[in-house]
Amino acid sequence: MRYLKTKTIILAAPVVMLGFFFIASCATGQKVTPVIPLPLTKPADGARLVPGPNDSRIAYVTARLLEQNDFTQRHLDSELSKRFFDGYLDSLDSRHENFLQSDLAEFDHYRTNLDKLTDTLDGVANLTPAFQIFNRFLERLQQHNDYVMALLKQDHFKFNTEDRIAIDRRHEPYPRDLAAAEALWGQQLRFEFLIEKLSQEISVTNGNLVVKLPKTAETNIIDTLTRRYQRNQEIFTKWDGTDVLQAYLNGLTHAYDPHSDYFNPEHAADFNIQMNLSLFGIGAQLSESDGGFCTIEKLIAGGPADRSKQLNEKDRVVAVAQGTNPPVNVVGMELGKVVQLIRGAKGTEVRLTISPAVDRAARNIVALVRDEIKLDDQAARAKLIDLPDGKGGTTRLGYILLPSFYAPVGGSGGGRATPQYTSVDVAKLVNKLKQEKVNGIILDLRNNPGGSLEEAVRFTSLFIKDGPVVQARSADGISVDSDTDQKQIYDGPLAVMINRFSASASEIAAAALQDYGRAIVVGDSSTFGKGTVQSLYPLHPYVWTATNDPGELKVTIRKFYRISGGSTQFKGVASDIILPDPLDYRTDIESESTLENALPWDTIPSATYTKFDLVQPYLAELSKRSAVRTATNQDFVYLRQEIEETKKLNTDHSLTLNENEAIQERRTNQAKDKARAAERDTRPPADLTVYDLFLTNTLVAGLPAPSYYPGMLETNATSTTTTTFKPVLNEAIPLYSAADKKLAESLGLDLDTGRFHNGFNAQTNLVPVTATAKNPGLEKATLTVATYTNSTVTVSTATIKLKNQPDLDPILLETDNIMVDYISLLAPKGVLSKN
């Protein structure tokens, strides 16, 4: 009997369904084997975590929801208990270096009994294993940290042996005892010390690798590693019961499949933000720096923090107050929990106590009213590319980059004033490209992790008239999601770019367009292979609490199938034309087929649909032409060389601990990079013009100014004028205008970091102020920058000579060429767009 029913279906990575159901807590007839828990181990620091008042009920509800709604319809049994146990240990100690085999022997009686401890007759789980194991982990982590601190104080590391260290210990046995663990810890510390030493003694000057170790190197390395290990320990010692519960229950959910998850309230909020492309807060990107300080890394343009003119990058948040309530000290607090304090409902006030970057001793109170923060940099965007057609003419291509399939979740419009939908945004970009008379469109789904199933269907429907888009199978049978509006906004030549990081909804769209023969698929050998549907269940209807949010559960409820019948699960979508990509050969990068407990590939009957057949008749010729180009194209020669190097690394899963050998490897790689850069500098500028298009300018007539990609700088910056002044407290360093920012960005300069993207070796604290240029991006640029050190601002003007070498990746450039060929083959057949 199925106890849980849902209202709507959503897709994996991100789309939500709010379902209302009940859980039967009646006796199931299972025989419960008594398990006598060991006493909780007391961590070395004297702290001990225990379950919260609702945690046992949350765990039970999670188990019941999984049993009743998971795609496999599998009862929680001893075999799943083993996966549950092993997964939880791996989540805490993925490198298998902290737990000892004696710990595993001590906990072994839990391994086949977690099912009985979780799915109980009284409706509350026994969470003793979760907290006992975690507290033991803290004890081992403390021993690990103490051992490393002792080595750093007394050891003088030598790197003249032939020792090597294993890169990946995920499948290695746990150390047999403390002595074996200390040997592993010592070897790992030696490796980290060597990496830091190499970073300090190796530099590149005038294109040459220089090896010279600073006198203060050892002290600096010891300080760096000390802070790193202390920070790593702090991450876990700051965990509270909700963090332990999430890790433990994800061991349970992942025993069913790798894409089911339990979200505690903090992570549930992050999930919704990802899907809505918006949040309500102050508009500041935060990080946690050494010492446990919450630091402002970036102000989001137009947000409350930016508008206030009272906050700056590198300011520290030391306390947070809600409205008129007293402030809460957040120094040393886990970053996610600080973020939760700062976020809140639109229109409410939050007061921040700030330690300014210009005066750490000062304490300023900044009151901000929370507002909607739009994350528009993660939305769809486009380029228009003019390039030669090989016959003396020009081909105009549209290029659309789609980072994810986003849609509102968590209520009407996701709480966003103007909800964003992938299909709506892409339609705007397509219509703009059509207005500019493009001959073909490239859809870039590389690195797209997926998102909304509904939006994947609507996105696909933009390019077909009507018909099925994807099939899905659940316990209730097979269903088909179709395009029924018969409206096709673009019927011209189409290409889809994919890689190993294209997953879930992006695989659905690519597979449908491929099955229809509507688009040629170009890229890696195949996509990620995530072909499952998840549904999100809020737990508050089943865990009655007036004060705490019990979180949400994401459950795999369906499996995807192409309209041709094969599953996208496990195998993914194969490219029509495979282009060389070293990432395609990396065995250390996960895909669905490498994940634990992934569901297998299978087939169902094909759906009924009518093919366009716009690809197969031309595929052999397109593949041949592409192979001829890439065989001699120097960038693809480099890519094939990297593929061979990747294959060699795949056979040797270790790295050297010999300093001279490591330096020689760096010399070899630097010489190779230098030779490649020199060869690229001899090339003439690429014969193409690129225009950047965003959602904000799709309704503006005409095209913006061309975008420039400066490539390498011909000469270093030369300072011409310098002035110095001390800023007034809270007074911003002179600001650059919007026009200055746009110009600087066209030159490849990131005004938020003060670094040129290509070759300008700026100081870390370089703050650009203004930028002007003659022939922007073509010859020279005059850049005014401000450097902040020791409470003094130094303003300098530098003249920089540029080269207009487009910085476009070779995979995209070759896809452009494939599209030019494709358009030329389609033209005589009279099947080009009439729109």
247 with 91: CB under 8 angstroms? yes
Q: DSSP for 490-509?
A: --S-EEEEE-TT--THHHHH
| Residue 28 pLDDT > 70 | no
Residue-level pLDDT at 328: 86
Query: What's the pLDDT tens digit per position in 329-348?
Result: 888 777 878 887 888 778 88
Query: What's the pLDDT tens digit per position in 358-408?
Result: 777 778 899 998 887 666 667 899 999 999 888 888 999 999 999 999 888
Residue-level pLDDT at 262: 96
| Residue 765 pLDDT > 50 | no
CA 782 from chain center: how many Å?
35
Residue-level pLDDT at 451: 85
Query: What's the pLDDT tens digit per position in 510-531?
Result: 999 999 999 999 999 999 999 9
Query: What's the pLDDT tens digit per position in 300-330?
Result: 767 888 888 888 888 899 889 987 888 888 8
Distance between start and end Cα atoms, the chain:
53
Element (H, E) at 136: helix 128-154
Average pLDDT, the chain: 81
Bigger pLDDT: 690 or 715? 690
618 with 826: CB under 8 angstroms? yes
Q: Are residues 561 and 613 in the same domain?
A: yes
- Average pLDDT of the residues in 51-80: 96
Length of the chain: 835
Tell me, yes or no, whether 503 lies in a domain: yes
CATH assignment at residue 355: 2.30.42.10
Boundary residue ending a domain (350, 374, 398): 374
Q: Which amino acid, one-letter code, is at 80?
A: L
Q: 752 lies in which domain range?
A: 718-801
Query: Contacts from 627-630 at CB under 8 Å and sequence distance 24+?
Result: 629/814, 629/817, 630/579, 630/580, 630/814
Residue-level pLDDT at 712: 33
- Average pLDDT of the residues in 742-753: 47
The dihedral region occupied by 374, where left means phi > 0, alpha psi between -120 and 50, and beta the remainder, is beta
Q: How many CB atoms lie within 10 A of CB 587?
A: 13
| Token pair 């009407």 in the structure block, residue | 412
Strands (E), 499-647: 520-523, 532-538, 552-561, 577-578
Q: Which amino acid, one-letter code, is at 498?
A: I
The structure tokens listed for 687 are 């014969």
User: What residues act catalytically?
Assistant: 504, 515, 530
Helical axes 634-651 vs 810-826, angle rounded to 10°: 120
| Residue 35 pLDDT > 50 | no
Residue-level pLDDT at 413: 45
Distance set, CA 579 to CA 93, 584, 586, 748, 806 (Å): 37, 10, 15, 27, 20
Report residue 674's pLDDT band, with 50, 70 and 90 as the boundaries: confident
Counting Cβ atoms within 10 Å, is residue 165 exposed (0-12), middle (13-18) or buried (19+)? middle
Residue-level pLDDT at 795: 54
Report residue 798's pLDDT band, with 50, 70 and 90 as the boundaries: low
The number of helix segments (H) and strand segments (E) in the chain equals 19, 30
Query: What's the pLDDT tens digit per position in 433-449?
Result: 999 999 999 999 999 98
505 with 456: CB under 8 angstroms? yes
| Residue 774 pLDDT > 50 | no
When mean pLDDT is compared across 336-345, 417-426, 567-576, 706-715, the lowest value belongs to: 706-715
When mean pLDDT is compared across 195-204, 241-250, 493-502, the lowest value belongs to: 195-204
Cβ neighbours of residue 172 under 8 Å, at least 6 residues apart? 96, 166
Tell me, yes or no, whether 61 lies in a domain: no
| C-alpha–C-alpha distance, residues 75 and 68, integer Å | 8
The structure tokens listed for 145 are 């940290």
Cβ neighbours of residue 206 under 8 Å, at least 6 residues apart? none
- Average pLDDT of the residues in 88-109: 97
Report residue 418's pLDDT band, with 50, 70 and 90 as the boundaries: low
Tell me, yes or no, whether 584 lies in a domain: yes
Distance set, CA 752 to CA 287, 301, 534, 744, 794 (Å): 15, 11, 37, 11, 18
Q: Which amino acid, one-letter code, is at 140?
A: R
Residue-level pLDDT at 86: 97
Bigger pLDDT: 738 or 735? 738
- Average pLDDT of the residues in 120-129: 96
Q: How many CB atoms lie within 10 A of CB 17?
A: 20
| Token pair 């507002």 in the structure block, residue | 371
641 with 829: CB under 8 angstroms? no
Q: Are residues 363 and 331 in the same domain?
A: yes
Q: Which of 216, 163, 162, 215 is nearest to 189 (CA)?
A: 163
733 with 767: CB under 8 angstroms? yes
Q: Which amino acid, one-letter code, is at 167?
A: I
| C-alpha–C-alpha distance, residues 787 and 764, integer Å | 9
Read off the DSSP letter of residue 14.
T
Bigger pLDDT: 560 or 777? 560
| C-alpha–C-alpha distance, residues 183 and 49, integer Å | 29
| Residue 123 pLDDT > 80 | yes
Read off the DSSP letter of residue 307.
H
Q: Are residues 306 and 408 in the same domain?
A: no
Residue-level pLDDT at 202: 86
**Rounded-to-5 percentages of helix, strand, coil across the chain:** 35, 20, 45
Q: Are residues 354 and 422 in the same domain?
A: no
Residue-level pLDDT at 133: 98
589 with 96: CB under 8 angstroms? no
| Residue 93 pLDDT > 50 | yes
The two beta strands, 520-523 and 577-578, are parallel
- Among positive and negative, which fits the CA dihedral 554, 556, 557, 563? positive
Q: Which of 35-44, 280-289, 569-578, 695-704 has the highest mean pLDDT?
A: 569-578
Give this prediction's pTM. Answer: 0.78
Bigger pLDDT: 780 or 568? 568
Q: Which of 792, 794, 768 is nearest to 782 (CA)?
A: 768
| Residue 726 pLDDT > 50 | no
Boundary residue ending a domain (374, 405, 438): 374
Tell me the chain's radius of gyration from C-alpha atoms. 29
Helical axes 55-69 vs 241-256, angle rounded to 10°: 20
Residue-level pLDDT at 151: 95
| Residue 40 pLDDT > 50 | no
Residue-level pLDDT at 736: 43
Give the percent of the chain with pLDDT over 70: 77
Tell me, yes or no, whether 347 lies in a domain: yes
Q: Are residues 322 and 424 in the same domain?
A: no
Residue-level pLDDT at 756: 35
| C-alpha–C-alpha distance, residues 702 and 602, integer Å | 49
Read off the DSSP letter of residue 175.
P
The structure tokens listed for 197 are 């030493």
Tell me, yes or no, whether 102 lies in a domain: no
Residue-level pLDDT at 519: 98
Element (H, E) at 114: helix 114-118
| Residue 250 pLDDT > 50 | yes
| Residue 628 pLDDT > 90 | yes
Q: Are residues 447 and 305 in the same domain?
A: no
| C-alpha–C-alpha distance, residues 765 and 464, integer Å | 51
Q: How many domains does one find in the chain? A: 3
The structure tokens listed for 233 are 């320990």
Tell me, yes or no, whether 490 lies in a domain: yes
Strands (E), 712-765: 718-725, 749-750, 755-756
The dihedral region occupied by 467, where left means phi > 0, alpha psi between -120 and 50, and beta the remainder, is left
Q: Are residues 364 and 472 in the same domain?
A: no
Report residue 255's pLDDT band, with 50, 70 and 90 as the boundaries: very high
Residue-level pLDDT at 524: 97
Q: How many CB atoms lie within 10 A of CB 730?
A: 16
Q: DSSP for 247-283?
A: HHHHHHHHHH-TT-EEE-HHHHHHHHHHHHTEEEE--
Q: Are residues 654 and 677 in the same domain?
A: yes
Q: How many CB atoms lie within 10 A of CB 575?
A: 22
| Token pair 């750490």 in the structure block, residue | 360
Q: Are residues 402 and 366 in the same domain?
A: no
Q: Are residues 502 and 567 in the same domain?
A: yes
371 with 307: CB under 8 angstroms? no
When mean pLDDT is compared across 173-187, 243-257, 648-662, 729-743, the lowest value belongs to: 729-743
Boundary residue ending a domain (326, 356, 374): 374
Q: Are residues 359 and 448 in the same domain?
A: no
Residue-level pLDDT at 385: 94
Tell me, yes or no, whether 674 lies in a domain: yes
323 with 313: CB under 8 angstroms? no
Bigger pLDDT: 445 or 230? 445
605 with 565: CB under 8 angstroms? yes
Strands (E), 284-363: 284-289, 293-299, 316-322, 328-329, 349-355
- Among positive and negative, which fits the CA dihedral 189, 193, 194, 196? positive
Bigger pLDDT: 744 or 260? 260
The two beta strands, 494-498 and 440-444, are parallel
Q: Are residues 653 and 781 in the same domain?
A: no
Tell me, yes or no, whether 565 lies in a domain: yes
